[in-house]
């Protein structure tokens, strides 16, 4: 988890292109999606950290052997001529909190005021991102943690136990269909990114939530459905498509306690520099990164 905790804490978080950062020595969960990325106070800090950890690692055969640029050089504040695609389906009033929609819309307008062009794009399959993600990730996680599931199952929290049971009994046909849908969604996202430099959407459909005190996860079908088509579907798209994505603070709620809101950006594989450029230009035109949520 990088973007959601970054958004919920009013800081910056970057999920790199799959294979851009070594996973050697990391306790994995989802082999085909796991990535390592920085969480930082500012976009510049994020660029510095990312530049330090990116690159090929002989100990991780899945890392890409491609040059790592100086990401700080991209942080010049100039977004004139860049194209920003606004994902229509991620601004649905039925899902997105009004204050989140307003904050993210204003952030996009700020970038437009800085010289970027903005256009609306449609990704029809994006609403099913979490369904696709879950059908793949639950099974892969159950395989990765198979020994612990067999020998120390009760040591997992209740919500994780449910996920591991799900992944352990999920039919192979569901995993297979999830992979086919994944390919179609990735094709849609990459086609959109062929016409724009970055895609913009909220990091989460809701502001930072308070610590839950209610019933445990997955106690009703309604809670499961809300999870599939709610907050998680805003970050799972990049996971499924293996593209870089990041969250940058773009506002706070008006109610007490005031809670952070994040603007999310998607970019083409290995186009983190462009994404950081856009995020930095916005950050420097606002003051959200100087504010802190109440503790």
Residue 104 has a pLDDT of: 98
DSSP 228-283: HHSTHHHHHHHHHHT--EEEEEEEE-SSSSP-EEEEEEEE-TT-HHHHHHHHHHHH
Residue 218 has a pLDDT of: 55
Residue 165 has a pLDDT of: 93
Per-position b or e across 42-69, b if 16+ CB within 10 A of its CB = bbbebbbbbbeebebbeeeeebbeeebe
pLDDT surpasses 70 at 140: yes
| pLDDT per residue as tens digits for the range 157-178 | 888 898 899 899 999 999 999 9
| pLDDT per residue as tens digits for the range 223-282 | 555 555 556 779 999 999 999 999 999 999 998 889 999 999 999 999 999 999 999 999
Residue 217 has a pLDDT of: 58
| pLDDT per residue as tens digits for the range 47-85 | 999 999 999 999 999 999 999 999 999 999 999 999 999
Higher pLDDT, residue 12 or 161: 12
| pLDDT per residue as tens digits for the range 184-200 | 999 999 999 999 999 99
Q: Which two tokens stand for residue 142?
A: 């159950």
Residue 225 has a pLDDT of: 58
pLDDT classification of 153: cutoffs 50, 70, 90:
very high
DSSP 167-215: HHH--HHHHHHHHHHHHHHHHHHHHHHTTSSEEEEES-SS-PPPPP-SS
Residue 283 has a pLDDT of: 98
* Strand (E) or helix (H) holding 57: none
Q: Which two tokens stand for residue 199?
A: 């895609």
**∠ CA 80-122-232 to the nearest 5 degrees?**
100
pLDDT classification of 3: cutoffs 50, 70, 90:
very high
């Amino acid at each position: 988890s990088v973007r959601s905790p970054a958004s919920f804490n009013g800081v910056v978080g970057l999920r790199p292109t799959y294979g851009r950062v070594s996973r050697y020595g990391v306790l994995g969960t989802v082999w085909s999606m796991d990535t390592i990325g920085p969480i930082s106070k500012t976009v510049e800090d994020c660029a510095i950290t990312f530049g330090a950890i990116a690159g090929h690692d002989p100990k991780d055969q899945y890392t890409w052997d491609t040059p790592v640029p100086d990401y700080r050089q991209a942080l010049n504040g100039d977004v004139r001529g860049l194209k920003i695609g606004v994902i229509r389906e991620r601004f649905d009033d039925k899902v997105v909190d009004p204050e989140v929609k307003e904050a993210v819309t204003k952030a996009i307008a700020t970038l437009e005021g800085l010289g970027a062009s903005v256009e609306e794009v449609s990704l029809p399959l994006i609403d099913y991102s979490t369904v696709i993600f879950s059908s793949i990730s639950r099974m892969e996680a159950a395989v990765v943690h198979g020994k612990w599931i067999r020998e120390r199952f009760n040591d997992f929290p209740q919500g994780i136990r449910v996920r591991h049971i799900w992944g352990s009994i999920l039919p192979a046909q569901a995993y297979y269909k999830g992979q086919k849908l994944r390919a179609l969604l990735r094709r849609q996202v990459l086609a959109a990114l062929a016409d724009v430099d970055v895609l913009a959407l909220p990091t989460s459909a809701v502001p930072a939530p308070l610590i839950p005190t209610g019933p445990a996860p997955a106690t009703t079908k309604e809670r499961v459905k809300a999870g599939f088509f709610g907050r998680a579907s805003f970050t799972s798209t990049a996971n499924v498509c293996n593209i870089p994505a990041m969250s940058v603070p773009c506002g706070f709620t008006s109610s007490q306690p005031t809670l952070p809101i994040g603007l999310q950006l998607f970019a083409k594989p290995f186009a983190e520099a462009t994404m950081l450029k856009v995020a930095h230009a916005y950050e420097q035109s606002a003051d959200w990164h100087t504010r802190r949520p109440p503790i």
